[in-house]
Amino acid sequence: MRPQTKRLGDVIPAPALVVPEPAVTFAITPEALARAGAAVLSGALVDVSADSGEIRLERSDADALGAEGYRLEITATGVTVRAAERAGLFWGVQTLVQLGAGDGVLPGGVIEDRPRFAYRGAMLDLARHFFTVDEIKAHLDLLIQFKINHLHLHLTDDQGWRLEIPGWPRLTEIGGGPGTGCDGEGPGFLTLADYADVVAYAAERFVTVVPEIDMPGHVNAALVAYPELTADGQPVAPRTDAEVGYSSLVAGKEETYAFVETVLKTLADATPGPYLHLGGDECLSTTAEDYRAFLARVLPLPGKYGKRAIGWHEIAAADLPEGTVVQYWRPEEQDAGVGAAVAAGRSVIMSPADRTYLDMKYDAGTRLGLDWAGLVPVRRAYDWDPAERLAGVTEESLLGVAAPLWSETLRSVADVQYLTFPRLPAVAEIGWTPRAGRDWESFRERVALFGPRWEAAGVSYFRAPEIDWPSA
């Protein structure tokens, strides 16, 4: 049963510590909330406290809340958010936005909150279907409400190349042109100015953009644009189907490395965040020897440009430079390579497909999505733990969790939202909330509150039968 009155703990992700003061409430206006949000965004707060109507935002080094933590106090006379860093104030305001939803009446008490993991990611595949700058920003606006702090953009694949690379214009002229994307339905690309726009918008919201250029496989769009990159120099045909594993850069060709170096230098220069994602997955048409030889030359490049490499976990077959991050994506419970990488001191992002892949169908009747990793109903996305999933991967080795959304079957923003909600909030809670603070029955009740909010905001979502959604 859903309670009738709002509770201080009715927040996703569940805060680390909630101390309600049930006799107390404080009513805020939507304007005060918006002013608090604007104050954090504008960076107006430096070291002094800022008063935004009835909401006080304060920087305080005294609180041991870390880079993203905050302390929120709601009394009968007002609201205070305190944090060591602006990011913490921002997440505190996101908590307030959730608590104030609807009537603006905030339940009294104190919340002390900080994330379990530094990396809480969502991935959007722009290659199989392109999404515009405005669409990416609007999606980001929905993600940050759940304290997601990394936006991974899958920028290239067999069906499309979505980022301008100076000196290699045909990548985007052809690879981003008409007829690209799955079924030819997703043309478009980001200029470097567009990319900078997305990166800046994300940074204002304390979100780090993680760009991915997938290599040495998943490169048909690049080979179409530049036949000199193919093994025999002969042109290859564009592909708009959803097959994987048939294309590869050529490990034994110097042209390959000139190309990769330009691409990664461009990406490093355009990306203020610390990570460059090099893909590395499903290289079924690259020999094991070529795969290792290719990565031996390419994995050190992010370091050369002051960045850390992330790769899908197949890269663990190569020697991983210090600082390399391995992103686990398979459904299996074991992976010898990831275990060895962790033993060598590398860190891991967990994205097991049977739990975190937002492109898996919810149930057999889901119109969109795939089912190769099984069906992923909401409870399946929620009820697991990243530190208990893969042999050898412990809490200390985890950078965090991420939920990828591959876009083979997507044709619109509504499609993106439908697969994202309500599963992304489940993964976001896994990334933020302490293990002991997570509980499916509690999540079920809390996520139900978002149904009316998503409807009011025109956000498409799956009315999962596992959830008692309030009747409209």
Q: Which is nearer to ligand TNX, 312 or 462 (CB)?
A: 312
Q: Which is nearer to ligand TNX, 139 or 218 (CB)?
A: 218
Q: What are the respective helix, strand and coil percentages of the chain, to the nearest 5?
A: 35, 20, 45
Choose which of 259, 294, 328, 357 interacts with ligand TNX (CB under 6 A): 357
Amino acid identity at 67: A
Find the DSSP H helices in 43-132.
Answer: 86-100
Task: Return the closest-CA partner of residue 32 out of 46, 51, 47.
Answer: 51
Q: Give the count of beta carbons closer than 10 Å to the beta carbon of residue 33.
A: 23
The residues, ordered by sequence, that sit 6+ positions from 406 with a Cβ below 8 Å of its Cβ are: 125, 128, 154, 357, 359, 370
Q: How far is the CB of 164 from ligand TNX (least distance, A)?
A: 22
Q: How far is the CB of 277 from ligand TNX (least distance, A)?
A: 10
Q: How far is the CB of 349 from ligand TNX (least distance, A)?
A: 12
Q: How far is the CB of 202 from ligand TNX (least distance, A)?
A: 22
Q: How far is the CB of 50 from ligand TNX (least distance, A)?
A: 43
> Can you name the residues that pair with 70 across neighbouring β-strands?
113
Q: Which is nearer to ligand TNX, 124 or 190 (CB)?
A: 124
Choose which of 68, 112, 164, 359 interacts with ligand TNX (CB under 6 A): 359
Choose which of 70, 259, 406, 469 interacts with ligand TNX (CB under 6 A): 406
Binding to ligand TNX (CB under 6 A) within 127-186 occurs at none
Compose the 181-220 pattern: x for residues touching ligand TNX by CB under 6 A, - for all others: ----------------------------------------
CA dihedral of residues 246, 320, 275, 174 (deg, nearest 10): -20
Compose the 242-261 pattern: x for residues touching ligand TNX by CB under 6 A, - for all others: --x-----------------
Q: Give the count of beta carbons closer than 10 Å to the beta carbon of residue 17.
A: 13
Q: 393 near 342, Cβ under 8 Å?
A: yes
Q: Which is nearer to ligand TNX, 328 or 443 (CB)?
A: 328
Q: Which is nearer to ligand TNX, 106 or 426 (CB)?
A: 426
Q: How far is the CB of 60 from ligand TNX (least distance, A)?
A: 42
Q: Which is nearer to ligand TNX, 333 or 395 (CB)?
A: 333
Q: 433 near 16, Cβ under 8 Å?
A: yes
Choose which of 118, 236, 268, 370 interacts with ligand TNX (CB under 6 A): 370
How many chain residues touch ligand TNX (CB under 6 A)? 10
The residue to which tokens 């009968």 are assigned: 76
Q: Which is nearer to ligand TNX, 8 or 122 (CB)?
A: 122
- With 0-12 / 13-18 / 19 or more C-beta atoms within 10 angstroms meaning exposed / middle / buried, residue 194 is middle
Q: How far is the CB of 317 from ligand TNX (least distance, A)?
A: 14
Q: Which is nearer to ligand TNX, 67 or 244 (CB)?
A: 244
Classified as helix, coil or strand, 409 is coil
Phi-psi sector, 61: left (phi>0), alpha (psi -120 to 50), beta: alpha
DSSP letter at 294 equals H
- The verdict on 329 binding ligand TNX (CB under 6 A) reads yes
Catalytic residue status for 212: no
Q: Return the ∠ at Cα 278 (arms to 316 and 147), rounded to 5°.
A: 95
- The verdict on 312 binding ligand TNX (CB under 6 A) reads yes
**Long-range contacts made by residues 448-452, C-beta under 8 angstroms, separation at least 24?**
448/2, 449/10, 449/101, 450/12, 450/421, 450/422, 450/425, 452/102
Choose which of 54, 164, 212, 281 interacts with ligand TNX (CB under 6 A): 281
- With 0-12 / 13-18 / 19 or more C-beta atoms within 10 angstroms meaning exposed / middle / buried, residue 450 is buried
Choice among 255, 282, 445, 455 that is catalytic:
282
Q: How far is the CB of 357 from ligand TNX (least distance, A)?
A: 6
Which residues contact ligand TNX (rule: CB under 6 A)?
Answer: 244, 281-282, 312, 329, 357, 359, 370, 406, 408
- Catalytic residues, which ones? 282
